[in-house]
Structure 1
Amino acid sequence: MTVPKTSVLVLNCSEPEPLARFYAQLLGATAGPATDDGELFLVTGRTGVVLGIRRDPQRPTPSWPLPEDSQQVHLRILVAADALDEAEREAVALGARPVAAEEDGTRLDNRTTLRRYSDPAGHSFVLAAVREDPARLSRT
């Protein structure tokens, strides 16, 4: 029998608690410490743990989209197409910083379907419009 387990993307930053609160508010989730020492915070939503935020005081702030740095990883937050403008207002009000659209190698970033940001600690994420209700997608 397989031991029950799950996986989660973990972002490193110098101050994990405020960043966990940022993502919890942005995603309509909750955030709390996963360890007694406060080194790891988990953001938990309707579908379970959606993101981890880990303390790493030596972690430099990401500098993407500078040409010498690669994006490496980003969060793609799915949003109903008709709610994209509202989701953008929420993200910016919580402290997200818009990142200029750039050629991604396949097509020009289209603001009607994809919007790029940096979170308060500098990690990149996008709000991406989808045809189906994102809540319905998370149940499948």
Structure 2
Amino acid sequence: MLVGPVGAGKTSLIHMLQKDSQKAEKTQSIIFTDGAIDTPGEYAQIPRFYSALMVTAMQASTVAVVQDATDLKIALPPGFASMFSRPVVGVVTKIDVPGIDREKARERLLQIGVKEPIFFVSSHTGEGLDELIEYFGKGGVHNE
């Protein structure tokens, strides 16, 4: 299940992971597709939708919180990731854009309670996707 603010690149990432070439459109509701769960950014940014995310996460093996490397404003509250009863990983998207700050993006994920691993990916170039695919292929479980 991918969770994150509006415009973070969740849908584009799912399309790349599934090798689907269709253009990403605004996600209006929770979408289940080929083993992935895509969530609207508003669900992560508006607290009254948190219960929908928590219930939906029960159907996921892993929750991936997505952070846009080009937009580092604080969009999710501290401890946000702790609401999920599934393993939570971080994914920093749009790393192909010049001038991004990877460490600041990583810090944003840590601030909301994401633990390692944190993956750095580009849905445009494919950079970093192999590591993410490998992680999900192992069931999304990371060993402490």
TM-score range, shorter chain: 0.3 to 0.5
TM-score, normalised via structure 2 length: 0.32
TM-score, normalised via structure 1 length: 0.32
More strand by share: 1
More helix by share: 2
